Amino acid sequence: MKQFIQNLPKAELHLHIEGTLEPELMFKLAKKNHVVLPYNSIEEVRQAYHFTSLQSFLDIYYKGAAVLIEASDFYDLTLAYLKKCHEQNIVHTEIFFDPQTHTDRGIAFETVVTGISEALEEAKRRYNISSFLIMSFLRHLSQGAAFETLEASLPFKDKIKGVGLDSSELGNPPSKFKEVFQKAKEEGYELVAHAGEEGDSRYIWEAIELLDVRRIDHGIRCEEDEKLVAYLQKTQLPLTVCPLSNVKLKAVKEMGYHNILKLLHRGLLVTVNSDDPAYFGGYLNENLEAVATSLQATKEEILQLVENGFRASFLSNHEINKQKAYFASMRS
Ligand code: HPA
Ligand code: ZN
Protein backbone atom coordinates (compact mmCIF):
# COMPACT_ATOMS: atom_id res chain seq x y z
CA MET A 1 0.00 0.00 0.00
CA LYS A 2 2.84 2.39 0.89
CA GLN A 3 4.35 2.00 -2.57
CA PHE A 4 0.92 2.28 -4.20
CA ILE A 5 0.37 5.64 -2.43
CA GLN A 6 3.87 6.83 -3.32
CA ASN A 7 3.41 6.01 -7.00
CA LEU A 8 0.09 7.82 -7.48
CA PRO A 9 0.32 11.38 -8.85
CA LYS A 10 -1.37 13.55 -6.24
CA ALA A 11 -2.84 17.00 -5.65
CA GLU A 12 -2.80 18.80 -2.29
CA LEU A 13 -5.46 21.44 -1.58
CA HIS A 14 -5.13 22.26 2.11
CA LEU A 15 -1.60 23.20 3.12
CA HIS A 16 -0.46 26.23 5.12
CA ILE A 17 3.03 27.19 3.99
CA GLU A 18 3.84 28.50 7.50
CA GLY A 19 2.92 25.01 8.73
CA THR A 20 5.73 23.44 6.70
CA LEU A 21 8.42 25.17 8.78
CA GLU A 22 10.52 22.29 10.09
CA PRO A 23 12.42 22.92 13.37
CA GLU A 24 15.80 22.73 11.56
CA LEU A 25 14.92 25.63 9.23
CA MET A 26 13.26 27.48 12.14
CA PHE A 27 16.55 27.44 14.05
CA LYS A 28 18.63 28.33 11.00
CA LEU A 29 16.47 31.38 10.19
CA ALA A 30 16.25 32.43 13.86
CA LYS A 31 20.04 32.54 13.99
CA LYS A 32 20.39 34.42 10.70
CA ASN A 33 17.68 36.96 11.56
CA HIS A 34 18.58 37.31 15.27
CA VAL A 35 15.14 36.17 16.40
CA VAL A 36 14.97 34.71 19.92
CA LEU A 37 12.96 31.46 20.04
CA PRO A 38 11.35 30.16 23.24
CA TYR A 39 13.26 26.87 22.76
CA ASN A 40 16.88 25.85 23.37
CA SER A 41 17.10 22.97 20.92
CA ILE A 42 15.36 21.19 18.06
CA GLU A 43 14.38 18.41 20.49
CA GLU A 44 12.72 20.98 22.74
CA VAL A 45 10.72 22.30 19.79
CA ARG A 46 9.46 18.84 18.92
CA GLN A 47 8.55 18.23 22.57
CA ALA A 48 6.40 21.37 22.54
CA TYR A 49 4.26 19.84 19.76
CA HIS A 50 1.70 18.20 22.04
CA PHE A 51 -1.55 19.96 21.34
CA THR A 52 -4.86 19.88 23.17
CA SER A 53 -6.89 22.01 20.74
CA LEU A 54 -6.63 24.18 17.63
CA GLN A 55 -5.74 27.21 19.79
CA SER A 56 -2.92 25.40 21.61
CA PHE A 57 -1.39 24.70 18.19
CA LEU A 58 -1.94 28.21 16.81
CA ASP A 59 -0.12 29.79 19.78
CA ILE A 60 3.02 27.81 18.88
CA TYR A 61 2.58 28.11 15.10
CA TYR A 62 2.50 31.93 15.18
CA LYS A 63 5.65 32.01 17.33
CA GLY A 64 7.50 29.84 14.81
CA ALA A 65 6.47 32.07 11.90
CA ALA A 66 8.30 35.00 13.53
CA VAL A 67 11.62 33.74 12.12
CA LEU A 68 10.45 34.58 8.56
CA ILE A 69 11.74 38.06 7.73
CA GLU A 70 13.26 38.36 4.24
CA ALA A 71 11.85 37.30 0.86
CA SER A 72 14.60 34.66 0.71
CA ASP A 73 13.24 33.12 3.95
CA PHE A 74 9.80 32.68 2.36
CA TYR A 75 11.52 31.33 -0.75
CA ASP A 76 13.53 28.76 1.24
CA LEU A 77 10.47 27.70 3.23
CA THR A 78 8.35 27.23 0.11
CA LEU A 79 11.03 25.49 -1.93
CA ALA A 80 11.65 23.01 0.91
CA TYR A 81 7.93 22.08 0.84
CA LEU A 82 7.97 21.76 -2.97
CA LYS A 83 11.01 19.50 -2.79
CA LYS A 84 8.97 17.34 -0.44
CA CYS A 85 6.11 17.42 -2.99
CA HIS A 86 8.52 16.17 -5.63
CA GLU A 87 9.67 13.33 -3.36
CA GLN A 88 6.05 12.37 -2.60
CA ASN A 89 4.87 12.63 -6.23
CA ILE A 90 2.56 15.59 -5.56
CA VAL A 91 2.16 17.18 -8.99
CA HIS A 92 -0.24 19.99 -8.09
CA THR A 93 -0.59 22.00 -4.88
CA GLU A 94 -2.81 24.87 -3.72
CA ILE A 95 -1.00 26.64 -0.92
CA PHE A 96 -2.40 28.86 1.84
CA PHE A 97 -0.43 31.71 3.30
CA ASP A 98 -1.45 34.04 6.15
CA PRO A 99 -0.44 37.60 5.12
CA GLN A 100 -1.53 39.15 8.43
CA THR A 101 0.79 36.90 10.45
CA HIS A 102 3.62 38.73 8.68
CA THR A 103 2.29 42.23 7.93
CA ASP A 104 1.35 42.63 11.62
CA ARG A 105 5.09 42.13 12.40
CA GLY A 106 6.09 44.82 9.92
CA ILE A 107 6.93 42.52 6.99
CA ALA A 108 5.69 43.93 3.67
CA PHE A 109 2.97 42.00 1.78
CA GLU A 110 5.24 42.19 -1.26
CA THR A 111 8.13 40.47 0.58
CA VAL A 112 5.91 37.51 1.46
CA VAL A 113 4.30 37.10 -1.95
CA THR A 114 7.53 37.59 -3.87
CA GLY A 115 9.45 35.00 -1.86
CA ILE A 116 6.71 32.37 -2.10
CA SER A 117 5.94 33.02 -5.79
CA GLU A 118 9.57 32.77 -6.89
CA ALA A 119 9.79 29.34 -5.27
CA LEU A 120 6.57 28.26 -7.02
CA GLU A 121 8.04 29.33 -10.37
CA GLU A 122 11.28 27.50 -9.63
CA ALA A 123 9.37 24.32 -8.73
CA LYS A 124 7.46 24.50 -12.01
CA ARG A 125 10.79 24.62 -13.88
CA ARG A 126 12.66 22.14 -11.71
CA TYR A 127 9.97 19.55 -10.89
CA ASN A 128 7.05 20.44 -13.19
CA ILE A 129 4.81 20.98 -10.16
CA SER A 130 1.82 23.26 -10.82
CA SER A 131 0.48 25.43 -8.02
CA PHE A 132 -1.91 28.15 -6.89
CA LEU A 133 -1.62 30.51 -3.97
CA ILE A 134 -4.54 31.23 -1.62
CA MET A 135 -4.29 34.01 0.96
CA SER A 136 -6.16 33.39 4.19
CA PHE A 137 -7.69 35.99 6.44
CA LEU A 138 -7.09 35.42 10.16
CA ARG A 139 -10.57 35.06 11.61
CA HIS A 140 -9.57 36.08 15.15
CA LEU A 141 -8.88 39.55 13.70
CA SER A 142 -11.56 41.97 12.50
CA GLN A 143 -13.28 42.14 9.13
CA GLY A 144 -11.76 45.61 8.79
CA ALA A 145 -8.28 44.08 8.99
CA ALA A 146 -9.30 41.52 6.35
CA PHE A 147 -10.44 44.37 4.08
CA GLU A 148 -7.00 46.01 4.48
CA THR A 149 -5.34 42.71 3.54
CA LEU A 150 -7.59 42.34 0.49
CA GLU A 151 -6.63 45.86 -0.57
CA ALA A 152 -2.91 45.10 -0.11
CA SER A 153 -3.25 41.99 -2.29
CA LEU A 154 -4.66 43.77 -5.34
CA PRO A 155 -1.29 44.72 -6.94
CA PHE A 156 -0.39 41.00 -6.75
CA LYS A 157 -3.67 39.60 -8.07
CA ASP A 158 -1.89 37.79 -10.90
CA LYS A 159 -0.04 35.69 -8.30
CA ILE A 160 -3.00 34.88 -6.04
CA LYS A 161 -5.82 32.54 -7.01
CA GLY A 162 -8.15 32.84 -4.06
CA VAL A 163 -8.91 33.80 -0.51
CA GLY A 164 -9.54 31.60 2.52
CA LEU A 165 -10.35 31.92 6.21
CA ASP A 166 -8.32 30.29 8.98
CA SER A 167 -7.10 30.59 12.61
CA SER A 168 -9.31 30.32 15.75
CA GLU A 169 -12.69 29.03 14.61
CA LEU A 170 -14.81 29.02 17.78
CA GLY A 171 -16.41 32.41 18.32
CA ASN A 172 -15.32 33.64 14.87
CA PRO A 173 -18.02 32.34 12.51
CA PRO A 174 -17.98 32.89 8.73
CA SER A 175 -20.77 35.51 9.07
CA LYS A 176 -18.13 37.88 10.54
CA PHE A 177 -16.51 38.06 7.06
CA LYS A 178 -19.54 38.21 4.75
CA GLU A 179 -18.79 41.59 3.17
CA VAL A 180 -15.07 41.05 2.63
CA PHE A 181 -15.73 37.72 0.90
CA GLN A 182 -18.31 39.44 -1.32
CA LYS A 183 -15.66 42.03 -2.27
CA ALA A 184 -13.05 39.30 -2.87
CA LYS A 185 -15.49 37.57 -5.21
CA GLU A 186 -16.03 40.81 -7.15
CA GLU A 187 -12.24 41.07 -7.50
CA GLY A 188 -12.26 37.65 -9.16
CA TYR A 189 -10.79 35.54 -6.36
CA GLU A 190 -11.87 31.94 -5.77
CA LEU A 191 -13.36 31.49 -2.29
CA VAL A 192 -12.72 28.81 0.35
CA ALA A 193 -13.02 28.78 4.16
CA HIS A 194 -12.08 26.61 7.11
CA ALA A 195 -15.32 25.47 8.75
CA GLY A 196 -16.46 22.52 10.81
CA GLU A 197 -13.03 21.67 12.22
CA GLU A 198 -13.87 22.63 15.82
CA GLY A 199 -16.96 24.69 15.00
CA ASP A 200 -20.24 22.86 14.50
CA SER A 201 -22.22 22.26 11.30
CA ARG A 202 -23.73 25.77 11.44
CA TYR A 203 -20.29 27.18 10.62
CA ILE A 204 -20.30 25.07 7.45
CA TRP A 205 -23.77 26.29 6.45
CA GLU A 206 -22.65 29.89 7.00
CA ALA A 207 -19.56 29.40 4.83
CA ILE A 208 -21.80 28.02 2.07
CA GLU A 209 -24.74 30.38 2.34
CA LEU A 210 -23.09 33.65 3.42
CA LEU A 211 -19.58 33.40 1.95
CA ASP A 212 -20.45 31.37 -1.18
CA VAL A 213 -17.31 29.24 -0.96
CA ARG A 214 -16.17 26.75 -3.62
CA ARG A 215 -14.69 24.36 -1.02
CA ILE A 216 -14.87 23.77 2.73
CA ASP A 217 -11.55 23.24 4.53
CA HIS A 218 -11.92 20.41 7.06
CA GLY A 219 -15.74 20.21 7.28
CA ILE A 220 -15.66 16.96 9.24
CA ARG A 221 -18.48 18.06 11.57
CA CYS A 222 -20.92 18.09 8.62
CA GLU A 223 -21.97 14.65 9.80
CA GLU A 224 -23.95 16.17 12.66
CA ASP A 225 -26.54 17.52 10.21
CA GLU A 226 -28.21 15.07 7.82
CA LYS A 227 -29.52 17.89 5.64
CA LEU A 228 -25.99 19.25 5.25
CA VAL A 229 -24.57 15.84 4.31
CA ALA A 230 -27.33 15.49 1.68
CA TYR A 231 -26.52 19.00 0.37
CA LEU A 232 -22.79 18.25 0.12
CA GLN A 233 -23.53 14.98 -1.65
CA LYS A 234 -25.88 16.61 -4.13
CA THR A 235 -23.74 19.64 -4.93
CA GLN A 236 -20.36 17.83 -4.71
CA LEU A 237 -18.98 20.83 -2.83
CA PRO A 238 -15.57 19.47 -1.78
CA LEU A 239 -14.20 19.00 1.75
CA THR A 240 -10.41 19.24 2.17
CA VAL A 241 -9.90 16.84 5.06
CA CYS A 242 -6.65 16.62 7.06
CA PRO A 243 -6.63 13.34 9.03
CA LEU A 244 -3.37 13.66 11.01
CA SER A 245 -4.21 17.28 11.87
CA ASN A 246 -7.64 16.26 13.20
CA VAL A 247 -6.12 13.68 15.52
CA LYS A 248 -3.22 15.93 16.65
CA LEU A 249 -5.59 18.80 17.49
CA LYS A 250 -8.08 16.44 19.16
CA ALA A 251 -10.91 17.19 16.74
CA VAL A 252 -11.01 13.38 16.40
CA LYS A 253 -10.11 11.08 19.31
CA GLU A 254 -7.97 8.69 17.31
CA MET A 255 -7.49 7.79 13.66
CA GLY A 256 -9.66 4.70 13.99
CA TYR A 257 -12.64 7.01 14.69
CA HIS A 258 -12.08 9.33 11.71
CA ASN A 259 -15.16 9.73 9.51
CA ILE A 260 -13.38 10.35 6.17
CA LEU A 261 -14.25 6.96 4.66
CA LYS A 262 -17.81 7.18 5.96
CA LEU A 263 -18.18 10.51 4.16
CA LEU A 264 -16.57 9.06 1.02
CA HIS A 265 -19.05 6.16 1.03
CA ARG A 266 -21.92 8.61 1.37
CA GLY A 267 -20.82 10.12 -1.92
CA LEU A 268 -19.16 13.33 -0.68
CA LEU A 269 -16.22 14.80 -2.57
CA VAL A 270 -13.67 14.37 0.23
CA THR A 271 -9.92 14.83 -0.28
CA VAL A 272 -6.85 14.09 1.87
CA ASN A 273 -4.37 16.83 2.80
CA SER A 274 -1.63 17.56 5.33
CA ASP A 275 -2.59 21.04 6.72
CA ASP A 276 0.59 21.84 8.74
CA PRO A 277 2.85 18.85 8.15
CA ALA A 278 5.87 20.09 10.14
CA TYR A 279 3.65 20.24 13.24
CA PHE A 280 1.36 17.24 12.76
CA GLY A 281 3.82 14.45 12.02
CA GLY A 282 3.41 13.83 8.32
CA TYR A 283 3.10 15.11 4.77
CA LEU A 284 0.46 14.00 2.27
CA ASN A 285 1.64 10.40 1.82
CA GLU A 286 1.75 9.86 5.59
CA ASN A 287 -1.84 11.12 5.83
CA LEU A 288 -2.94 8.67 3.15
CA GLU A 289 -0.98 5.87 4.84
CA ALA A 290 -2.69 6.66 8.17
CA VAL A 291 -6.10 6.36 6.49
CA ALA A 292 -5.05 3.10 4.84
CA THR A 293 -3.68 1.62 8.06
CA SER A 294 -6.10 2.80 10.74
CA LEU A 295 -9.28 2.67 8.68
CA GLN A 296 -8.30 -0.33 6.53
CA ALA A 297 -8.90 1.62 3.32
CA THR A 298 -8.74 -0.41 0.13
CA LYS A 299 -6.65 0.58 -2.90
CA GLU A 300 -9.86 1.64 -4.67
CA GLU A 301 -10.76 3.95 -1.77
CA ILE A 302 -7.29 5.49 -1.79
CA LEU A 303 -7.53 5.90 -5.55
CA GLN A 304 -10.87 7.69 -5.18
CA LEU A 305 -9.55 10.00 -2.44
CA VAL A 306 -6.52 10.91 -4.53
CA GLU A 307 -8.56 11.42 -7.72
CA ASN A 308 -10.90 13.67 -5.71
CA GLY A 309 -7.90 15.92 -5.00
CA PHE A 310 -7.76 16.79 -8.71
CA ARG A 311 -11.54 16.99 -9.12
CA ALA A 312 -11.80 19.47 -6.24
CA SER A 313 -8.86 21.61 -7.44
CA PHE A 314 -8.91 24.97 -9.21
CA LEU A 315 -7.17 23.42 -12.23
CA SER A 316 -8.85 23.94 -15.62
CA ASN A 317 -11.45 21.43 -16.79
CA HIS A 318 -8.95 20.34 -19.42
CA GLU A 319 -6.36 19.48 -16.75
CA ILE A 320 -8.94 17.79 -14.52
CA ASN A 321 -10.19 15.67 -17.43
CA LYS A 322 -6.63 14.57 -18.17
CA GLN A 323 -6.28 13.41 -14.56
CA LYS A 324 -9.68 11.67 -14.63
CA ALA A 325 -8.60 9.75 -17.73
CA TYR A 326 -5.39 8.71 -15.96
CA PHE A 327 -7.30 7.40 -12.93
CA ALA A 328 -9.76 5.59 -15.22
CA SER A 329 -6.80 3.90 -16.90
CA MET A 330 -5.50 2.81 -13.49
CA ARG A 331 -8.74 0.93 -12.91
CA SER A 332 -8.91 -0.91 -16.24
N1 HPA B 1 -7.20 25.55 11.23
C2 HPA B 1 -7.26 26.86 11.42
N3 HPA B 1 -6.23 27.66 11.22
C4 HPA B 1 -5.08 27.14 10.81
C5 HPA B 1 -4.96 25.78 10.60
C6 HPA B 1 -6.09 24.95 10.81
O7 HPA B 1 -6.09 23.73 10.62
N8 HPA B 1 -3.68 25.57 10.21
C9 HPA B 1 -3.07 26.77 10.17
N10 HPA B 1 -3.91 27.73 10.54
ZN1 ZN C 1 -5.90 24.41 7.75
SS3 annotation, the chain? CHHHHHHCCEEEEEEEHHHHCCHHHHHHHHHHHCCCCCCCCHHHHHHHCCCCCHHHHHHHHHHHHCCCCCHHHHHHHHHHHHHHHHHHCEEEEEEEECHHHHHCCCCCHHHHHHHHHHHHHHHHHHHCCEEEEEEEEECCCCHHHHHHHHHHHHHHHHHCCEEEEECCCCCCCHHHHHHHHHHHHHCCCEEEEEECCCCCHHHHHHHHHCCCCCEEEECHHHHHCHHHHHHHHHHCCCEEECHHHHHHCCCCCCHHHCCHHHHHHCCCCEEECCECHHHHCCCHHHHHHHHHHHCCCCHHHHHHHHHHHHHCCCCCHHHHHHHHHHHHHHHC
pLDDT by residue, tens only, the chain of 332 residues:
999 999 999 999 999 999 999 999 999 999 999 999 999 999 999 999 999 999 999 999 999 999 999 999 999 999 999 999 999 999 999 999 999 999 999 999 999 999 999 999 999 999 999 999 999 999 999 999 999 999 999 999 999 999 999 999 999 999 999 999 999 999 999 999 999 999 999 999 999 999 999 999 999 999 999 999 999 999 999 999 999 999 999 999 999 999 999 999 999 999 999 999 999 999 999 999 999 999 999 999 999 999 999 999 999 999 999 999 999 999 98
Q: Domain range holding 303? A: 2-331
Active-site pick, 12, 18, 169, 197: 197
pLDDT of residue 332: 86
Pocket test for ligand 1, best of 54, 61, 98, 242 (most atoms within 8 A of CB): 54
**pTM metric for this prediction:** 0.98
Atom of ligand 1 nearest to the CA of 19: 9
Task: Please tell me the residue having the least CA distance from ligand 1 atom 2.
Answer: 167
DSSP, collapsed to helix, strand or coil, labels residue 9 as: coil
Ligand nearest to the CA of 137: 1
For residue 225, the domain's CATH number is 3.20.20.140
Atom of ligand 1 nearest to the CA of 98: 10
CA of 257 to the centre of ligand 1 (A): 21
Q: Is 20 in the pocket of ligand 1 (CB under 6 A)?
A: no
* 197 catalytically annotated: yes
Task: Please tell me the residue having the least CA distance from ligand 1 atom 7.
Answer: 275
Q: Structural domain tally of the chain?
A: 1
CA of 301 to the centre of ligand 2 (A): 23
